[in-house]
Amino acid sequence: MELWYSERGIVPGLALSVEVSKVLHEEQTEFQHLAIVDTPLYGRMLWLDNIIMTNIKDEFVYHEMISHVALNTHPNPKKVLVIGGGDGGAIREIIKHPSVEKAVLVEIDRRVVETSKEYLPEIAGALDDPKVEVLYEDGIKYAKEHKNEFDVILVDSTDPIGPAVGLFEGDFYKNCYEALKEDGIFVAQTESPYYNEKLIPKVQKDIRSLYPITKLYLAFIPTYPGGCWSFTMGSKKHDPETVDFSTRPNYPARYYNHGIHKAAFVLPNFVHELINK
């Protein structure tokens, strides 16, 4: 008998279904329902509250794009904060940059980290690196309590439901701004431009109220609704479209390169309209 997992409800009227060969782990954590399954098409896959978070086959796109765009825009990132991202993929990419001395991961749900390390070592393998500090606490509270400390902050959140709702609010963005140093850079994943026509303009307005440089960029991720995914950057000083790549480090990547960095900011007309509402 075939077994299929379906993501329903995050986009009204849309379901994303994946054939599952085996359920590897399933539990109700303190914060959310967590499942790790094996699939014929995407390999092992992490689900939270019945929503696809990441998988072995296409995870590199999301994790490279949420990380390297900011880390190459900043000329010398030494201390980086990741809020969310308990699967460890963003951390893996961050520590590829030789200038990074410390990466702090703040994840509210300990079980996301623990099960990712057990079942998704290709993604979570860098969480034990000596440069990395993993904290199990509320990222909203953490950002509020740490001022002028980080060069780059990445918000690697789930969708704006459940424990992640506060990670899309103006007060949180303001706390992140204050947690950054004077030339710091902020990046958040900001959902699909096809299906989040209300969220993306709101985030743009909130980030523009804080940062002199605010830009949205895109990447293409097959297992996320619509396939086209947005990230929003706020920068206090450095423009991501004027990076001198001759001074940036080389490291292995499967999706990101200097051409992709530049092209990601070239937006379709409907996305321009969306961010200028």
Structural domains for the chain: 3-55 (2.30.140.10), 59-275 (3.40.50.150)
Query: Per-residue pLDDT for 163 more than 90?
Result: no
Residue 39 confidence (pLDDT)? 98
204 annotated as a binding-site residue: no
Work out the average pLDDT over 39-51: 97
Indicate if the pLDDT at residue 165 is higher than 80: no
State how beta strands 102-106 and 51-55 pair. unpaired
Secondary structure element (H or E) that encloses residue 43, with its range? strand 43-48
Query: What mean pLDDT is predicted for residues 169-174?
Result: 91
Say if residue 87 carries a ligand binding annotation.
Answer: yes
Choose, from 49, 58, 156, 206, the residue flagged as catalytic. Answer: 156
Q: Which pLDDT score is estimated for 10? A: 84
Task: Please indicate whether residue 161 or residue 202 has the higher confidence score (pLDDT).
Answer: 202
Residue pLDDT, tens place only, 60-112:
999 999 999 999 999 999 999 999 999 999 999 999 999 999 999 999 999 99
Task: Return the percentage of the chain with pLDDT > 90, whole number.
Answer: 92
Is 38 annotated as catalytic? no
Query: Does the annotation list 63 as a binding residue?
Result: yes
| Structure tokens given for 26 | 């399933």
Q: How far apart are CA 219 and CA 227, in angstroms?
A: 8
**Cβ(166)–Cβ(140) under 8 Å?**
yes
Bridge partners of residue 235, in order along the sequence: 185, 213
Q: What is the DSSP string of 2-27?
A: -EEEEEESSSTT-EEEEEESEEEEEE
Taking the whole predicted model, whether its pTM rises above 0.85 is answered as: yes
